[in-house]
Chains A and B, each alone.
Chain A
């Protein structure tokens, strides 16, 4: 069926739903690279007016990628709870925005309805929402997950400690871990992006991370962000692995370009569950996503990059992850050109994820060929904290020397904690107090060179290594 909207006697026609969604999107370079963005400012609003009048049922019944062609579409359709959805099916997208923002729609209602929210519904309504709308509704959503601690509680902010090193030198990685822990970072996960894909190098990293966590009884979890097949092999060979990581996208073909399928992700999750390493819960998966990945793999099916991204959260949701994060500015200016586009995308992604019941964090980041700088990151960081983001990244000095991009620093997290009164995950907070790294009010405490934890961690750093 075709879609249309008339403005001052001019009829704007859209051949299908995915075109309405693409043209209704706030302007971004990736949709123009794909040749699907609105050609004028008025056409964009015509698409939004058209979208606002569509019933939610239409979005469920007309998949943007055909059921027979794409296993992500099949997942979305087959898992959709019809009875639950019937409570909101009659609303138009415009009415749905009003309903979300209404004070009578609260955390309990949103949590109950989350399984009925398809990615297309979340993406569609986000296109009618201003940044403040995205923040207000995200704030009302609550997604709580557990492995060795509890993430996503109200008034809390967690940090992934990201201690990357360009040659995976265990000493270099350990040194960055020490830095992060003493800044109070690491409650979301201690997660390393390895440069190598050699299994022997990776095993060394898993063992070292496990050793730090076990020896110092840190209530957190570790992850080595390599391909899921390597992690399955590692589990089979007895490596102490906490979380299974994988980059995912919102179409079957894009996932294929990552070398994964839903079946493979299910297999990986079963393998991780078999280790029974979570003490408080069984959320064992860690996913990363980002707008533009489907187009980058030439696997977007003419669907706009924000809708593709929301579909990745349907994939994530299936596997009950501990953490999902959108690596929002990593992909480059051909997808998100500048600070304005990166900020908007970060808020959209966080909103769509939370609305769908996914524990979304954000890698607030940019590359040096994007029109962005630290001020843009400060803005997005602050807006996401207001929106109740589950976690952010913690990279020494915001400079990732392995991946060559700028993320957020341990200091950035301190800034959010002091500005918004945000606390650590409770179990991790108790550990920090026990170690005298923070006081009862969560304030970072001065440390001297005689600090016993610092001495022990320094000794460990000197001792680790492939040939130690």
Chain B
């Protein structure tokens, strides 16, 4: 029996893109192998969306690295409601507001590690990224304890930052998983965080993962933005990320 799979003689072009090109076909359809590869990638993404952040493990790892930590939850009661009601994920649960461990003197920067849409990303990349960031921080900057936030959206950082009396909040949050990466981390910086900040008032560094934007480059971008934000007293559309101009080798 002849192989019914019609191959595509342009597989060499795969060197230029990770897109699913030259998959071949059976009749009008994808070959079995490609269908299952796609389904596997989707399964990874689905599991990433629905997995919960292991706060105990993350806290232990952070403390081993010498960080102080505290943890907060949003008002979303569970993962399903979290997906349906983004507004709940943007507000702190009333119980979280009274946690004494989150109270501190006024600081310059509050880092938050949040599950967002990929707890896997937060768990895998939060701590190693913070290690790279720490190496670049100015000793003059006062830091809040690292906040671990669950069932969180980006804007939850506004209330956390305000609560911590921080000049700047840096939200390290799991991004919506794609098929090529279920574990991309995003960093959102907001100057003078408080309820009601808009996305236009934030800066974002996206696709942080070893196979995407490396920890080292991401840390350089984030710290460049931190320094600019504290100096110019703003984040958002008026603060263009020009870190490449100063960071590129040579």
Chain A interface residues (CB < 8 Å from chain B) = 29, 32-33, 163-166, 169, 171-176, 178-179, 182, 332-334, 337, 367-369, 373-374, 395-401, 404-406, 409, 411, 414-415, 417-419, 444, 446-449, 451, 454, 458, 461
Complex A-B: 17 CB contacts under 8 Å? A172-B17, A174-B16, A175-B14, A179-B19, A179-B21, A368-B45, A396-B20, A397-B21, A397-B23, A397-B38, A399-B19, A401-B178, A411-B23, A411-B28, A444-B25, A447-B8, A458-B12
Among residues 1 to 59 in chain B, which have CB atoms less than 8 Å away from a CB atom of chain A?
Answer: 6, 8-10, 12-14, 16-23, 25, 27-30, 34, 38-39, 41-42, 45-46, 48-49
**Given A334-B86, A369-B83, A399-B41, A454 and B19 contact (CB-CB distance below 8 Å):** no
Minimum distance in angstroms from B196 CB to a CB of chain A: 12
**B117 on the A face (CB < 8 A):** yes
Say yes or no: B10 contacts A458, CB within 8 Å. yes
Contact A418-B27, Cβ < 8 Å, known A163-B19, A368-B45, A454-B9: yes
**What is the CA–CA distance of A405 and B181 in the complex, to the nearest angstrom?**
11
Q: Does B69 contact A (CB under 8 A)?
A: no
- Which residues in A have their C-beta under 8 angstroms from that of B49? 368-369
B205 to chain A minimum Cβ distance, whole angstroms, is 14
B176 within 8 A of A: yes
Residues of A within 8 A of B6 (CB): 446
Are A33 and B85 in contact, CB atoms less than 8 angstroms apart?
Answer: yes
Q: Would A334 and B25 be within 8 Å (CB), given that A367-B176, A401-B19 are in contact?
A: no
CB distance from A409 to the nearest CB of B (A): 7
A397 touches B83 (CB 8 A): no
* Interface residue? B105 (CB, 8 A): no
Q: Select from chain B the residue with minimum beta-carbon distance to A170.
A: B16
What residues of B have a CB within 8 angstroms of the CB of A451 in the complex? 9
Residues of A within 8 A of B25 (CB): 411, 414, 444
Q: Are A368 and B46 in contact (CB under 8 A)?
A: yes
Bound-state CA distance A208–B8 (Å) is: 24
Beta-carbon contact of A398 and B38 below 8 Å? yes
| Residues of chain B lying within 8 A (CB to CB) of residue A171 | 16-17
Measured between beta carbons, the chain B residues less than 8 angstroms from A173 are 17
Additional pairs, 18, CB under 8 Å, beyond known A33-B87, A179-B10, A461-B13: A165-B17, A172-B17, A172-B18, A175-B14, A176-B21, A368-B45, A368-B46, A368-B49, A369-B176, A374-B38, A399-B178, A401-B178, A404-B176, A404-B179, A447-B9, A449-B9, A454-B9, A461-B16
Cα(A418)–Cα(B29), bound, Å: 10
Docked CA distance A448–B10 (Å)? 9
Chain A residues with Cβ under 8 A from B28's Cβ? 411, 414-415, 417-419
Whether A404 contacts B177 in the complex (CB less than 8 A), given A374-B38, A397-B38, A454-B10, comes out as yes
CB 8 Å contact bits of B141-174 with A (1 = contact, 0 = none): 0000000000000000000000000000000000
B21 to A406, Cβ gap below 8 A? no
Decide if B84 is an interface residue (CB 8 Å cutoff). yes
The answer to the question of B207 belonging to the interface, with a C-beta cut-off of 8 Å to chain A, is: yes
B180 contacts the other chain (CB 8 A): yes
CB atoms of B20 and A399 under 8 A apart: yes
A405, B177: Cα distance in complex, Å: 9
* Inter-chain contact A397/B84, CB cutoff 8 Å: no
Q: Are A333 and B83 interface neighbours, CB within 8 A?
A: yes
Closest to B6 in A: A446
Return the chain A residue nearest B175 by Cβ. A404
Residues of chain A lying within 8 A (CB to CB) of residue B42? 368, 373-374, 406
B184 to chain A, nearest CB (A): 8
Taking the closest CB of chain A, its distance from the CB of B174, in whole angstroms, is 11
Contact B179 A409, beta carbon cutoff 8 Å: no
The residue among A373, A374, A411 with the most chain B CB atoms within 10 A of its own CB is A411
User: CA A3 – CA B30 in complex, angstroms?
Assistant: 52
Contact at A334–B29, with CB atoms within 8 Å? no
Q: In the complex, what's the smallest C-beta–C-beta distance from B237 to chain A, in angstroms?
A: 11
Residues of B within 8 A of A164 (CB): 19
Known: A368-B49, A398-B38, A411-B28. A169 touches B17 (CB 8 A): yes
A367 to B46, CA, bound (A): 10
Q: A447 to chain B: which residues have CB within 8 Å?
A: 8-9
Residue contact B17 to A176, C-beta cutoff 8 Å: yes
Do B19 and A334 touch (CB < 8 A)?
no
Whole-angstrom CA separation of A175 from B48 in the bound complex: 30
Assess the A397–B177 pair: CB atoms within 8 A: no
Assess whether A179 is in contact with B22, with CB atoms less than 8 Å apart: yes
Alpha-carbon distance A374/B42, docked complex (angstroms)? 10
Give complex CA distance A399, B178 in Å.
8
Task: Return the 10 tightest CB-CB contacts between A and B, nearest first.
Answer: A397-B20, A404-B178, A172-B17, A414-B28, A368-B45, A179-B21, A175-B13, A449-B9, A171-B16, A396-B19
Please, which residues of chain B bring their CB within 8 A of the CB of A446?
Answer: 6
What is the CB-to-nearest-CB distance from A204 to chain B, in angstroms, rounded to a whole number? 15
Report whether B41 and A334 are in contact in the complex, using a CB–CB cutoff of 8 Å: no
Highest count of chain B CB atoms <10 Å: which of A33, A165, A399, A446: A399
B83-98 interface bits toward A, Cβ cutoff 8 Å, 1 = contact, 0 = none: 1111100000000000
Query: What 0/1 pattern do residues 175 to 213 of B give for CB contact below 8 A with A?
Result: 111111110000000000000000000000001000000
B13 touches A178 (CB 8 A): yes
CB distance A404 to B13 under 8 Å? no
Chain B proximity of A74: nearest CB distance (Å) = 27
Contact present for B8 and A368 (CB under 8 Å): no
Question: Nearest chain A CB to B229's CB is how many angstroms away?
Answer: 21
Interfacial chain A residues near B8, Cβ < 8 Å: 179, 182, 447
Could you tell me the distance in whole angstroms from the C-beta of A399 to the nearest C-beta in chain B?
A: 5
The residue in chain A whose Cβ has the minimal distance to the Cβ of B35 is A374
Shortest CB–CB separation between residue B15 and chain A, in angstroms? Answer: 8
Give the shortest distance, in Å, between B53 (CB) and chain A (any CB): 15
B13 interface neighbour in A33, A419, A458, Cβ under 8 Å: A458
